[in-house]
Structure 1
């Protein structure tokens, strides 16, 4: 009887020990599983130059807020809006060198780093909003992203600004011939080639300098989107607005590639997925914002000259030197990108 009691005691002790070991294993597994869903703490600085009430700015602010919320506050994005941290001329270099982790800048300015990015400035390359969306969902996006990464920038988002137009205070621009002799503020090298082809002289000025230059008549006109024209009060210093949708402007949310490479996989996925959602929201706003702001400028007294489909061939033909300049700068990649856009249905 004593022997049986001894055996039962040993079995009981063994069961306790085994149970304890199993419990520890389960605890470790649960801890490991929970850890996979947690984000490592990180703070990312994000700079942009657009006015805070611009639809791209609103989208970028929401992007930053969502990333922080989805990560439970672990992935913090500190936003520096409206040029508080960097000017648009300083932005690209700061991103490439790690002076700032993330920033938003125009594709026009990025074209000085990756010439193929000038595709968005090629006159009349994107005939409508839908075509631009399709182009940015396929091979063109992949090739541009690869070229950017080779230079040290990871593209997270293409933010649709909308179409570029012309404002001036001299006369209605009903045809390319009407540009002759005018001084027009340009936004980049390719638009400058078009302005010259139309017979005008391009002038490089920062966005914040245009109002005063028009007011003092040191320039006769400027090219920009109607969203910016309204926000910067072009209606007060320019009488005429020509709507010919010559370029579909993009702003790019990019991150320093080295910084990106060091991030945990779940943080990368969080940033990519939230950027994709935000990009779609911004794209949906571009057309309605173009229409709303053009209407507002008309209501404020600007005389609108809308170029019809039947009139566009004349404008396209006169702008061919700008297309040639892009191909010369961007090489084979630029030509392939243009060809791919032309074959989009």
Structure 2
């Protein structure tokens, strides 16, 4: 199903001037944008801002015709492949829903690596531009990576007052990938796989007691706070790689100056994304305080205990092994390259996940 339209025009259009040279094209690109999250969520807002800016910077040559939210067009796990099939022209995806398709990308989801989401985003963008194997991962799905989010460190939210990590034992929580395994092994929780779209109803009915694998900015706009009694910072670092992709056939047909502008915007995106993350974090904290939600941050001893119980070295080795089975690239070498680039960007980040004291 092809929803987008390339509108042919009788006259040449002037999309924008690039590097002082006016370039022309013979078509205007109207996009269909799809996401599975709510319109007000940070993960949606940042890409609407991105697409609006792309339209402005191309003088309306590229613009969004239709926007579909909350899985109106595709389910969460269908967005990567759906955009490749041109069900939508651009779409929001998260690696955790299709990890087998993006084994190299998913290495950036390794827990306890960094809580600096803008550094993670910047490192992934540099890797995408310099590492052929990572780029092939997306082109194999017939999509072009437009931008990566600046992810934030995971939180845990539960419908019980928590005063120590031990209080989490036995609680059923929505899980996200390997974070669910860690929560189960180290925290004694019961992981329940489901998408974020199912969390509210599942908490309301008692099917789950809370959630893990969620950024701080999310519980507010998703309306989970009325069902939440404590928000917890387990200091597990960033845990997701999400972003915006464009159908590759559509991308290849764009004028070179449009592609160059998109690449420039991609490199600018980490700082813009993290600014919206900080804004969303603050809004959730303020809303949570107004609703009487408590906050708890793991002590250093509790963080170390979770890592030890998980056997972090074994976990890392298993990550490399499972992802190596899904790619011809050398995953261990890829991880070393990614972490070296990440280390370059971490000192440039001022982001902190702020909980009330």
Structure-1-length-normalised TM-score:
0.78
How many Å separate the matches in 2 of 1:265 and 1:72?
A: 15
Written as runs of structure 1 = structure 2, the 5 A alignment for 1:1-345 is 36-38=23-25, 40-83=27-70, 84-129=72-117, 131-133=119-121, 135-139=123-127, 142-143=130-131, 144-172=134-162, 174-175=164-165, 177-187=166-176, 189-198=177-186, 199-223=188-212, 224-248=214-238, 249-309=240-300, 311-319=302-310, 320=312, 322-331=315-324, 333-340=330-337, 343=340, 344=343
Are the equivalent residues in 2 in contact too, given 1:221–1:238 (CA < 8 A)? yes
The structure-2 alpha-carbon separation of the partners of 1:309 and 1:140, relative to structure 1 and needing over 3 Å to count, comes to farther
How many Å separate the matches in 2 of 1:34 and 1:286?
A: 36
The structure-2 alpha-carbon separation of the partners of 1:280 and 1:302, relative to structure 1 and needing over 3 Å to count, comes to same
The structure-2 alpha-carbon separation of the partners of 1:141 and 1:69, relative to structure 1 and needing over 3 Å to count, comes to closer
Gaps of 5+ in 2: 1-19, 345-357
The structure-2 alpha-carbon separation of the partners of 1:217 and 1:334, relative to structure 1 and needing over 3 Å to count, comes to farther
How many Å separate the matches in 2 of 1:134 and 1:74?
A: 27
Which of structure 1's runs of 4+ aligned residues deviate more than 6 A? none
Structure-2-length-normalised TM-score:
0.76
Give per-residue Cα distances to partners, 1:32-69, cap 9 Å, x unaligned: x9873456322222212222222332221222222223
The structure-2 alpha-carbon separation of the partners of 1:212 and 1:34, relative to structure 1 and needing over 3 Å to count, comes to closer
How many Å separate the matches in 2 of 1:131 and 1:221?
A: 29
Q: CA deviation at 1:183?
A: 1.7
Moved more, 161-170 or 291-300: 291-300
Are the equivalent residues in 1 in contact too, given 2:119–2:270 (CA < 8 A)? no
CA RMSD for the aligned pairs?
A: 2.9
Q: CA deviation at 1:157?
A: 0.2
Are the equivalent residues in 1 in contact too, given 2:149–2:242 (CA < 8 A)? yes
Give per-residue Cα distances to partners, 1:140-181, cap 9 Å, x unaligned: 774433422233221110112422111112452733x54433
Are the equivalent residues in 2 in contact too, given 1:47–1:103 (CA < 8 A)? yes
Q: CA deviation at 1:82?
A: 1.9
Are the equivalent residues in 2 in contact too, given 1:67–1:75 (CA < 8 A)? yes
The structure-2 alpha-carbon separation of the partners of 1:336 and 1:308, relative to structure 1 and needing over 3 Å to count, comes to farther
Are the equivalent residues in 2 in contact too, given 1:186–1:202 (CA < 8 A)? yes
Moved more, 216-225 or 64-73: 64-73
Q: CA deviation at 1:222?
A: 0.8
Give per-residue Cα distances to partners, 1:306-339, cap 9 Å, x unaligned: 1244542222223326434422222274433443
Give the secondary-structure state (helix, strand or coil) at the position aligned to 1:108.
Answer: helix
Alignment correspondent of 1:3 = none
Give the secondary-structure state (helix, strand or coil) at the position aligned to 1:229.
Answer: coil
Give per-residue Cα distances to partners, 1:110-156, cap 9 Å, x unaligned: 42311222234322121434642553354477443342223322111
How many Å separate the matches in 2 of 1:250 and 1:318?
A: 25
